[in-house]
Amino acid sequence: MSIFYALIFANDESSRTLALSLQSIVYGFVNTDNYGGIFAACMVVFLPSFIVYVFVSKKIIAGMTMGSVKG
C-alpha cells in the first residue's frame, strides 16, 4: 500500500523512496536477462537495513517487549 502513496506523491526523482527506485531498476532489467544487475540492486537496498538491524536488534526487541509487559 505504501508504494502506491509513494507513486502518487513522489513526483520527481529526488523524492522517490527506496522501494520505487528498486522497482524502476528491476523493471529496467526485466527483458534483458541481467539477473546479476537485479541481484546487485536488491543487495544495495537490503544490506544497509540488515546491517543496521544486526547492530540495533537488541534495542528493538527490548523496546517491543517493554511495551507489551503489563504493570
Please state, in angstroms and rounded to a whole number, the distance separating the CA atoms of residues 53 and 42. 17
The mean pLDDT of the chain is 81
Residue holding cell 503489563?
Answer: 70
**Domain map of the chain by residue range?**
2-68
Contacts of 2 (CB under 8 A, 6+ apart): 17, 19
Confidence bin at 1 (pLDDT 50/70/90): low
pLDDT of residue 24: 79
pLDDT of residue 71: 59
pTM > 0.85: yes or no: no
